[in-house]
Amino acid sequence: MAHVTELAPGVVPGLPRQAPAPGWAARAPAEILTAFDYGRVSQLPGGQTLREYTFIAQETEIEVAKGVMFPAWTYNGSVPGPTIRCTEGDRVRIYFQNGTRHPHTIHLHGVHPASMDGVFEQVPPGHSYTYEFDADPWGLFPYHCHTMPIRKHIEKGLYGTMIVDPPTPREPAHELVMVMNGFDTDVDGENEVYTVNGVANYFNEHPIELKVGALVRVYLSNMTEFDPINSFHLHGNMFKLYRSGTSTTNPELTDTVMLCQGERAVLEFRYKYPGKFMFHAHQSEFAELGWMGFFDVKA
């Protein structure tokens, strides 16, 4: 007699008809750097903003360094996955379909009901689950699969960023999303490649252009598995550090920040001088294995 696994409440076969088409097309690290997914926007009775997303777990082969292919698990085809962007108080609804051969979930950091936490509602292949919650509080949050073994599901690529903007918007800036990660390409339980946004040395070969005096805001998170910490070091400058992005006052002024797994921060800075300035992990091994790049600052 075949074994039948009982589905958690809310887990259903297929994807609900009302789910919108996935709106995320970013693949290259430079595209992920500045892409924000605002979802399908409408108004609920009473005026609350509703943002709807469709996430599909996929098995996707990606290039993580020149000539090095990696059999990733992705949300909507990229590592990291879509950058969700909303404002505090918005209703967020995510239709999640599992298109892989393994069970998966989406665990979102932040405040929400237990049934929206992505731990117990395991979604088997071919099934879906709808997450719905009010974005609260404002800040910078990661999301990731929470299926056991968790570190395997994260290391394979099932993670991304959610930005919840404050009701009073931050000062306009050149905004960049950077997700620090690593890839175990020979399945030995250690990372052979380290990156920001998925490809080793990408921003070494494709420097990020900035302008002297312009405010730059980096949404930085650490989704590196196997190594307890990762870090960001900025050359020729200092940045204001807002941990978890939950405040716009009393920042720390520094040029280096270390983040534990899942930790994140908002960094703000302006360059005083033109030229090429390096940024990289301050673990030398990580930098030498791909986690480094340049800002090309123009006058």
The 10s digit of each residue's pLDDT in 195-206 is 999 999 999 999
Q: What is the pLDDT of residues 251-291, one digit of tens each?
A: 999 999 999 999 999 999 999 999 999 999 999 999 999 99
Q: What is the mean pLDDT of the chain?
A: 96
Closest alpha carbon to 267 in 287, 291, 251, 288: 251
Rg (CA), the chain: 19
pLDDT at 2 over 80: no
Segment 137-164 shows an average pLDDT of 97
- pTM of the predicted structure, to 2 decimals: 0.96
CB atoms within 10 A of CB 134: 15
